[in-house]
Amino acid sequence: GLSYHENWQRMWRNPTPKKSYDVIIIGGGGHGLGTAYYLAKEFGIRNVAVIEKGWLGGGNTARNTTIVRSNYLWDEAAALFEHSVKLWEGLTQELNYNVMFSQRGVLNLGHTLQDMRDIQRRVNANRLNGIDGEVLDARGVQDLEPLLDCSARARFPIMGASWQPRGGVARHDAVAWGFARGADAHGVDILQQTEVTGLMIRDGQIYGVHTNRGDIEAKTVGCVVAGNSGVLANMAGIKLPLESHPLQALVSEPLKPVVNTVVMSNHVHGYISQSDKGDLVIGAGIDGYTGYGQRGSYPIIEHTLQAIVEMFPAFSRVRMNRQWGGIVDTTPDASPIISKTNVEGLYFNCGWGTGGFKATPGSAHVFAASLAKREMHPLAAPFSIDRFHTGALVDEHGAAAVAH
């Protein structure tokens, strides 16, 4: 079927690194590529390089389970994630690239009275912030998901759920590739197989990066390297409040459509959706140990599948096709870090942990604005590193408890 499919047009160039750029973005995941895209498209800064040690989107962007939602508790987080969902809603048109954003809705299940009180509080907060949300009882949940065990027989019977109809899933690769093609078309140099091995800093100002392809100069450098953020920060003598943990996901053999929405349960601790191809896409929590191996351990897989079978007993005989891991950068308050540093011109956008895919366009947009103006965008400002000194934390453990 692929005979004669030759000489396809390249989606982006493969340029030789220039000696210097106005801005360097380290990390060719969705957030980094998106930052470069908005820098060029919206802020007219085109002399930009994205430096990626492997291939585009090969980090967490390629490894995540693609849940998109904005039903976070606190005003600061809700505003940032809602900014992102709004951008998602126009992203396919914006990039002229089908990112397959499917707003099939997200259910966060409640299994105890306290779960339901927390859900009510969060949905109230969401609605006050103009974010769609409803509280459903068990019957409302059952109507949306007929295969879900909503009976009183379950070990932790489902009492209800929060429901965000505008939430959903998207195609992870397409987001990276769409931003990459768009950035390249605006003149951004995308440098793959190029690893940053050191940061060039003099008199408290960044002036470039060392790479395996030589030194490249820039007075503005944005680090968007997810699980490797601690490593990059070390190069500048900065200690970030981050831990890097493996986070796993699994997909099953393809099935006919059986899961209509995204179903998440903090209590039995697992979540599931179904890809357009038919695979069940499954995840849960991080592995407890820190490390950089993109694999994870067996007890987590077992625990995750126990939770899924408890929610959907009919899946007990479904076969799993693949399992993998990514390295997520978790912070003490489960919120990201989008920040200047004490090195002039050096910025970090990290700490998205288990939940940054949904933020890709929003994070990229506010980060690009911050780099362009050298002043943090108002939506990014509450996520400065300083909050770990001042105590102004944005604690989203409740909304982010099960990894997603």
Of the candidate residues 182, 270, 283, 382, the single one contacting ligand FAD (CB under 6 A): 283
Name the token pair of 99.
């990112």
* Residues in 56-95 that interact with ligand FAD by CB under 6 A: 58-61, 63-67
CA–centroid distance for 336 within its chain: 10
CB of 168 to ligand FAD, least distance (A): 11
CB of 119 or CB of 199, closer to ligand FAD: 199
CB of 213 to ligand FAD, least distance (A): 11
Give phi and psi for 180, each to the nearest 5: -65, -45
Pairing relation of β-strands 270-274 and 346-350?
A: unpaired
Residue 107 is a binding residue for ligand FAD (CB under 6 A): no
Residue 206 is a binding residue for ligand FAD (CB under 6 A): no
Of the candidate residues 48, 225, 242, 307, the single one contacting ligand FAD (CB under 6 A): 225
Of the candidate spans 53-61, 111-119, 152-160, 373-381, the one that interacts with ligand FAD by CB under 6 A turns out to be 53-61
CB of 120 or CB of 306, closer to ligand FAD: 306
CB of 65 or CB of 162, closer to ligand FAD: 65
Pairwise CA distance, residues 334 & 250, whole Å: 23
CB of 196 to ligand FAD, least distance (A): 4
CB of 27 or CB of 382, closer to ligand FAD: 27
Question: What mask of x and - would describe binding to ligand FAD in positions 340 to 359, judged by CB under 6 A?
Answer: ------------x-xxxxx-
CB of 352 to ligand FAD, least distance (A): 4
Residue 54 is a binding residue for ligand FAD (CB under 6 A): yes
Residue 404 is a binding residue for ligand FAD (CB under 6 A): yes
Q: Please enumerate in sequence order all residues whose Cβ is within 8 A of that of 283, keeping only pairs 6 or more positions apart, or say none.
A: 65, 247, 248, 249, 250, 270, 271, 304, 403, 404
Q: Site for ligand FAD (CB under 6 A): how many residues?
A: 39
CB of 133 to ligand FAD, least distance (A): 17
CB of 137 to ligand FAD, least distance (A): 26
Question: What mask of x and - would describe binding to ligand FAD in positions 16 to 35, judged by CB under 6 A?
Answer: ----------xxxxxxx---
Residue 208 is a binding residue for ligand FAD (CB under 6 A): no
Name the token pair of 282.
């499954």
Of the candidate spans 7-15, 104-112, 223-231, 340-348, the one that interacts with ligand FAD by CB under 6 A turns out to be 223-231
Residue 247 is a binding residue for ligand FAD (CB under 6 A): yes
CB of 250 to ligand FAD, least distance (A): 9
CB of 379 to ligand FAD, least distance (A): 17
CB of 393 to ligand FAD, least distance (A): 19
CB of 150 or CB of 353, closer to ligand FAD: 353
The residues of the shown chain that bind ligand FAD, judged by CB under 6 A, are 26-32, 51-54, 58-61, 63-67, 195-196, 224-226, 228, 247-249, 283, 326, 328, 352, 354-358, 404
